Amino acid sequence: MVLTLYKLDASPPVRSVYMVIEALKIRDVEYVDVNLLEGSHLKEEFLKMNPQHTIPLLKDDDFLIWDSHAISGYLISVYGADDSLYPNEPKKRALIDQRLHFDSGILFPALRGVAVIIFFNLLCLGQDELIIFRGEKEIRPENLAKIKSAYDFTEKILSSDWIAGDEFSLADICCVTSISTLNEMVPIDGSLYPKLASWLDRSSQLPIYKKANEPGLLQFREIFKNKTS
Ligand SMILES: N[C@@H](CCC(=O)N[C@@H](CS)C(=O)NCC(=O)O)C(=O)O
């Protein structure tokens, strides 16, 4: 069975899947770069596989699945030696699912709102809908407010060492790739957000973070620095 992951290292949801692959020690994966800045995701060949034109996209033989959270759940079900990353126990799982939806609904949109305006000149929202940006260099006030609100929520959510309780889980993986990227745009002030700052610090010490999140995060840092200077 050959797994193919369509990816770009700087992308936070792609890095979540990298962290899951690393945690599960899956070795047999082919990686295919999709250059979003050059519009490769809008080509017919890619749209046939993912009409939503997003990465990460996983191909497992003839099975196609996109969205980092769905891909991660799939990989854990198929390759996980146990359920420790994504427990089956209903309450533990519900709490993790809530954090995954928090990532999809609050954290990632907060960073996407900034990234599309700064990184892209053109954004395709649907078949006939295009938005043109001028490659702005500063974070708009309304987007800054969304990032601060995302930090506020996360600070309140964090009541243990990890984001969904006492154990490290898939929730930490998906939230840390988004939050470490937001931290590149708007550095987290530890005096305002002490729990958030120490959770990020704790997560960043993990070998899977260093191996699977850090390299792409450094690429993101460079792109963001170049685009905003
Ligand atoms: N919720 C999705 C978000 C995926 C997403 O929006 N990825 C961005 C890159 S970070 C993308 O592919 N953008 C291109 C587009 O939306 O056209 C996930 O977790 O996979």
Neighbour count for residue 160 (Cβ, 10 Å): 11
Atom of ligand 1 nearest to the CA of 55: 12
Domain count, the chain: 2
Task: Determine the number of helices (DSSP H) and then strands (DSSP E) in the chain.
Answer: 10, 6
Tally Cβ neighbours within 10 Å of residue 79.
14
Predicted confidence at residue 135, as pLDDT, reads 72
| Mutational pocket test of ligand 1: of 33, 46, 53, 55, the residue with most ligand atoms within 8 Å of the beta carbon | 55
Residues 128 and 60 in one domain: no
95's tokens: 């709490």
- Model's pTM, two decimal places? 0.95
Count of C-beta atoms within a 10 Å radius of residue 221: 16
**Nearest residue (CA) to ligand 1, atom 13:** 54
Nearest-CA residue for ligand 1 atom 14 is: 54
pLDDT computed for residue 51 by the predictor: 96
Cα–Cα dist 49/78, whole Å: 21
Q: Which atom in ligand 1 lies closest to the alpha carbon of residue 174?
A: 19
State the amino acid at position 189 in one-letter form: D
3-state SS, residue 229: coil
What pLDDT shows up at residue 122? 54
- pLDDT tens, 41-84? 999 999 999 999 999 999 999 999 999 999 999 999 999 999 99
Is there a domain that residue 21 lies in?
A: yes
Which residue lies with its CA nearest to atom 3 of ligand 1? 67
Give 93 Cα–ligand 1 centroid separation in angstroms. 24
Q: Domain containing 15: what range?
A: 3-79
CA 37 to chain centre: 17
**Within this chain, do residues 57 and 31 fall inside the same structural domain, yes or no?**
yes
84 occurs within a structural domain: no
Tell me, yes or no, whether 130 and 32 share the same domain: no
Mark whether 8 and 100 lie in a shared domain.
no
Beta strands in the chain (DSSP E): 3-7, 29-33, 57-60, 63-66, 122-124, 130-132
Instruction: Specify whether 16 is located in the same domain as 44.
Output: yes
Q: Where are the alpha helices (DSSP H) in 80-193?
A: 90-102, 108-119, 141-157, 170-185
48 and 155 share one domain: no
| pLDDT for the residue 131 | 61
Which positions of the chain have pLDDT values less than 70? 1, 120-134
Nearest Cα residue to atom 16 of ligand 1: 54
The pLDDT score that the predictor gives to residue 121 is 61
Q: What is the reported pLDDT for 130?
A: 60
Output the ligand 1 site: residues, CB below 6 A.
11-13, 36, 41, 53-56, 67-69, 104, 108, 124
- Tell me, what's the pLDDT at 27? 94
Query: Is there a single domain that holds both residue 200 and residue 111?
Result: yes
d(C-alpha 210, C-alpha 180), whole Å:
12
Catalytic residue status for 198: no
CATH no. for residue 61?
3.40.30.10
- Separation between Cα atoms, residue 16 and residue 58, nearest integer Å: 13
Task: Put the strands of the sheet holding 29-33 in their side by side order.
Answer: 29-33, 3-7, 57-60, 63-66
pLDDT of the residue at 200: 98
What CA–CA distance (Å, rounded) separates 5 from 66?
A: 10
Residue 136 has a pLDDT of: 83
Ligand 1: which atom is nearest the Cα of residue 53?
A: 17
